[in-house]
Structure 1
């Protein structure tokens, strides 16, 4: 499987918790970016001339911060430079305040078949705490608009563990999301990413986060509520109705090949990982000067590859295919993994069948520490 990721670096405003690279939108900077993106895509064309991409994911930033004309040009560039499968999953991320009827019609027209909407909460107070620009009603209306426009695969993102958030707030957000019947719901525990306003406030002792017990309760409630509503818990933070797991992200977790273009985008091809400049001005300057946009490149060593296979594979409900793991990483690595897996199975954190190692629901709740024990 081969995936293509496009990073659109623009946002109307940086959210207080967000650690992804973004920069304020201006028409001129976006025009320069779209031009540079075309140059990077053209540089990659020959390498992929005989290969077909199975998924396309446009993320950010906020892709729908671009004007309709700019977004249409991005898609035209992609279609001209790369071969996209006729049944490819094509995702675009959007924020509720950037969704318009005109924009939705354009996305449908250019072949987007999956919309991922960054709702984050249906509580007005929590939205303000996060620095979001939309209201709860605007979020619900964005989902309804997307459905009316013709989208049959809609995802909603939610965050728990936010300062000031109660279990009651979280229950309300989940119930509001379920009432909109999206095909996919992602629930993320708040992370204090370096460089964010939240991280600096927490370091200074000015951020009052829910205690660990409350966060565990929120996570457990989400799992129970979503599974009861018919969503499969196919990855630690992701739930989907049957047939609607995000194929693009599953390819990441299976260590499949992917090409990333745009500022800050990363690629994983032929055992090598490389990333572009995480600065839109530098990204554009390098490409317009005829230079590569890549600023970091590394070859993944065998031990690192095996650790990644465990770490990423155990994020998914289906876990690690032991036969495939042995073929790719060797008998010694498989024996070590199996031995550690048996110990975790005895403690109820993992399940070890003849062909597969997976985490139990309890193990998923403690996934960071469990996976660390397996990869140590």
Structure 2
């Protein structure tokens, strides 16, 4: 196990579409939370799966950069002192425009951060307002340029499409603007109206003017053309990168490999056991301070469940899932497990078996969600 995820559950404002575990909290809580998080990191160093230095560290949220830079860098330093980092380790931090400037990014770089993921979502101010974002398009551009000036050489830009009021034309302009900033990585997500969000309430009242299916398909085609022409290649359902800049931490997820986690709401996955921590930062702090467990949910996957999950996660990758690894881990092949279901998908030209991988074909890619649903 060489991957660690840390969750910072704080934001300056909760966006209207967001279903992630995050909240606005007083700054006094930030320091207490960081102390508790480092205590859990201390505990994790004794986990039997920890044998090697970390290859990837991902600090997500929430908005990790809404806490002071010295608190965030102290967490990274603590991980270095506790686990160590392997040569060339990927250290990623999520950030939002309006929470970082050049000085903040320089602090992150000095602490070893070599990958910054900037949550932009749109380069149209009207779309940002609809989403409930705090920043403007120009502030987003300024934050990315500040990170570049600070010396961070691997920058991801998060964008969303399928937004209320968005058109294929505005998506072209937003994506072109992102590409003009020459990011090494793009994460492009279609908006999903999630349960429990203000958007769900608005959608129930028919107050969200979402693009129709034909417009979404046009946006998908725009994405394909613009990214290919820019030399930034799709390697996963929602992720694109120039060669050598794929997110190693997230590839670990998609290959369904082990990873540790710490922090409120963080989920770990070790040897088929998934553990979720309490979502309430105050409860998390209390449990840590009294030496009690922060785990509130535990799921033990059967071998068959883990096999299917590994196939589905791996098919999110353009290269597909390694059949050799499946056989080594589970003693199973997709042909043996899925039988006629897989044969039918192959005859339809939706999936194919290469010498090393089972993958979704270019023909099947637009229907990948339906294909994966058949293999669950």
Are 1:14 and 2:14 an aligned pair? Answer: yes
Q: Shift in Å at residue 178 of structure 1?
A: 0.7
Are 1:31 and 2:46 an aligned pair? Answer: no
- Residue 94 of structure 2 aligns to a residue in which SS? strand
Does the Cα contact within 8 Å between 1:322 and 1:334 map onto a contact in 2?
no
Are 1:44 and 2:82 an aligned pair? Answer: no
Q: Deviations over 1:57-108 (max 9, x none)?
A: 0100001000122112222322222222131100000001111122111001
**Unaligned segments of structure 1, at least 5 residues:** none
1:205-224 mapped onto 2 (5 Å cutoff): 205-224=206-225
1:62-141 mapped onto 2 (5 Å cutoff): 62-141=63-142
TM-score normalized by structure 2?
0.96
Q: Shift in Å at residue 119 of structure 1?
A: 0.6
Q: Shift in Å at residue 339 of structure 1?
A: 4.2
Q: Which residue of 2 aligns with 1:314?
A: 315
Cα separation, 1, equivalents of 2:206 and 2:301: 38
1:112-261 mapped onto 2 (5 Å cutoff): 112-261=113-262
Does the Cα contact within 8 Å between 2:102 and 2:149 map onto a contact in 1?
no
Q: Shift in Å at residue 324 of structure 1?
A: 2.2
Q: Shift in Å at residue 53 of structure 1?
A: 1.4
TM-score normalized by structure 1?
0.96
Cα separation, 1, equivalents of 2:334 and 2:235: 25
**Unaligned segments of structure 2, at least 5 residues:** none
Q: Shift in Å at residue 13 of structure 1?
A: 0.2
Q: Deviations over 1:151-180 (max 9, x none)?
A: 110100100001110001100011001100
Change (3 A) 1:280 1:158: same
Q: Which residue of 2 aligns with 1:273?
A: 274
- Residue 364 of structure 2 aligns to a residue in which SS? helix
Cα separation, 1, equivalents of 2:333 and 2:5: 34
Cα separation, 1, equivalents of 2:335 and 2:349: 21
**Of 363-372 and 312-321, the range deviating more from structure 2:** 363-372
CA RMSD of aligned residues (A): 1.5
Q: Deviations over 1:106-161 (max 9, x none)?
A: 00110000000001111111111111111111111111111111011010010000
Moved over 4 A (4+): none
Q: Deviations over 1:281-328 (max 9, x none)?
A: 111111111111111111111121111011100000110222322332
Q: Shift in Å at residue 333 of structure 1?
A: 5.2
Are 1:262 and 2:246 an aligned pair? Answer: no
Cα separation, 2, equivalents of 1:108 and 1:339: 52
Q: Deviations over 1:153-210 (max 9, x none)?
A: 0100100001110001100011001100000011000011211111222123322211
**Of 100-109 and 242-251, the range deviating more from structure 2:** 100-109
Does the Cα contact within 8 Å between 1:326 and 1:333 map onto a contact in 2?
no
- Residue 116 of structure 1 aligns to a residue in which SS? strand
**Of 94-103 and 68-77, the range deviating more from structure 2:** 68-77
Q: Which residue of 1 aligns with 2:367?
A: 366
Cα separation, 2, equivalents of 1:130 and 1:10: 18
Cα separation, 2, equivalents of 1:175 and 1:49: 43
Does the Cα contact within 8 Å between 2:334 and 2:342 map onto a contact in 1?
no
Change (3 A) 1:77 1:346: same
Does the Cα contact within 8 Å between 2:53 and 2:84 map onto a contact in 1?
yes
Change (3 A) 1:46 1:204: same
Does the Cα contact within 8 Å between 2:120 and 2:158 map onto a contact in 1?
yes
